[in-house]
A and B are shown apart, each in its own frame.
Chain A
Amino acid sequence: RKEVEQDPGPFNVPEGATVAFNCTYSNSASQSFFWYRQDCRKEPKLLMSVYSSGNEDGRFTAQLNRASQYISLLIRDSKLSDSATYLCVVNPRTGNQFYFGTGTSLTVIP
């Protein structure tokens, strides 16, 4: 079983729509969670960390559900500039590395 699993999409949504991605992780002892954004043929960049109580950054909301072992990312009022691949990242702390999901592709359509 993969450490981190994501629906690859693609998600094609109109401008202004709300879209949500989920990501599941296998190690229940995982401690740190992140969402990274990767534009086409570019490097990943941190979008936001995910805190236990959930957190919001403008139009972006991240949630953690430890009981079901998933994290989510909600994007409200989608913009064309949100088109990218969103990577879920988990740090189990029991091993020696961060684990990256394969990414969810989002295209926002005019």
Chain B
Amino acid sequence: NAGVTQTPKFQVLKTGQSMTLQCAQDMNHNSMYWYRQDPGMGLRLIYYSASEGTTDKGEVPNGYNVSRLNKREFSLRLESAAPSQTSVYFCASSEQWLAGGEQFFGPGTRLTVL
């Protein structure tokens, strides 16, 4: 099992460009999440999908959109990138939302917006 995979690993964008971060998990988990991690801020939830077919905003959703393509895949889209979106983005999955269980993280995408 690969666990949670993310692509790309690194990306540099210019202000105003768009891109989609891809995430897939092979653990048959119901819930998936997108976080960003910034120095001194900890991990902050951008969007989550409690189950296939549902998505909801987290703590910092502005400037992002998501798609739960199927049970395995959950993508994050930046429509018009801004320098404030420079961050490390982690996708995660867990068996059930609100079950209090372990979250499994992907290796992250390091995004720089110039």
Binding site for B on A (CB under 8 A): 4, 8, 31-32, 34, 42-46, 49, 87, 91, 93, 96-98, 100-103
- Shortest CB-to-CB span from A46 to chain B, Å, is 5
Binary per-residue interface labels of chain B (99-114) against chain A in the complex, 1 for a CB within 8 Å, 0 otherwise: 0101101111000000
Binding site for A on B (CB under 8 A): 35, 40-45, 48, 56, 58-59, 90, 98, 100, 102-103, 105-108
Chain A residues near B59 (CB-CB < 8 A) = 97
- Shortest CB-to-CB span from B86 to chain A, Å, is 15
Q: Give the residue of A43, A87, A102 whose beta carbon is less than 8 angstroms from that of B41.
A: A102
Which residue of A8, A43, A96, A100 has the most chain B CB atoms within 10 A of its CB atom? A43
Chain A residues near B43 (CB-CB < 8 A) = 44, 87, 100
B48 and A100 contact, CB distance less than 8 A: no
Chain A residues near B102 (CB-CB < 8 A) = 34, 46, 49
A32 and B42 contact, CB distance less than 8 A: no
Q: A46-B102, A49-B102, A96-B56 are in contact. List 4 more A-B contacts (CB 8 A).
A: A31-B100, A34-B102, A43-B105, A97-B59
Minimum CB distance partner of B45 in chain A: A97
Q: Answer whether A102 and B40 are a contact pair too, CB < 8 Å, given A42-B107, A43-B105, A97-B58.
A: yes
A98 vs B100: C-alpha distance when bound (angstroms): 9
Chain A residues near B108 (CB-CB < 8 A) = 42-43
CB pairs A–B below 8 angstroms (8 shown): A32-B100, A43-B105, A44-B43, A87-B43, A96-B56, A98-B45, A100-B44, A102-B40
Which residue of B40, B43, B44 has the most chain A CB atoms within 10 A of its CB atom? B43
Which residue of B58, B98, B105 has the most chain A CB atoms within 10 A of its CB atom? B98
Chain B residues near A32 (CB-CB < 8 A) = 100
Minimum CB distance partner of B90 in chain A: A43
A98 vs B107: C-alpha distance when bound (angstroms): 19
